[in-house]
Amino acid sequence: MRFAAIALLLVSLFTLAAQQKQKQKQKKPPDVQVLETRARREDTRITLDGKVRVTGDKPLKGLVSGLDFRSPEKEVVTTQKTVVEEETLEIGREGAYHVEMADTARAVRYEIRAFDFHEKELRVSNTGPFPIE
């Protein structure tokens, strides 16, 4: 009986330690923050403008924005990528992007992702979904 109680206590302690370690890993700050973004339909195209800020704990070597356009059923209709900045972006620095693309009839909203020039996906805050006006 004592052995079972001690074993249960040890298992509980190991589980608690593993959960705390998992929480610490998840608390990394985002690398990029979306400050503002706006998409609008104009004739036969969609124009998208936005501004992002580097908020991570180290500078980024280039910044690429990935835009996932979604249908009313929330399926990705198309994805567009645009270069925000080719040079190294220091922490706290802002970058802007401007995209024009052919109108995709089923696209009603979009979400934003970010990558560095080595195609590594970055953590982003305020990803959307945002409506297309």
For position 11, what pLDDT does the model report? 67
Cβ–Cβ under 8 Å, residues 35 and 94: yes
Q: Backbone phi, then psi, for 14, in 5-degree steps?
A: -65, -40
Ramachandran quadrant class, 19 (left: phi over 0; alpha: psi -120 to 50; beta: rest): alpha
pTM equals: 0.69
* Assigned token pair, 120: 């590594």
The pLDDT tens digits along the chain (133 residues) read 666 667 666 667 677 766 766 666 667 788 888 888 888 888 888 888 888 888 877 877 878 888 888 888 888 888 888 877 777 777 888 888 888 888 777 888 888 888 888 888 888 888 778 888 8
Domains of the chain by residue range: 32-131
32-131 folds as: Immunoglobulin-like (2.60.40)
E-strand ranges in the chain read 32-42, 45-54, 60-70, 76-89, 94-102, 109-115, 121-122, 124-125, 130-131
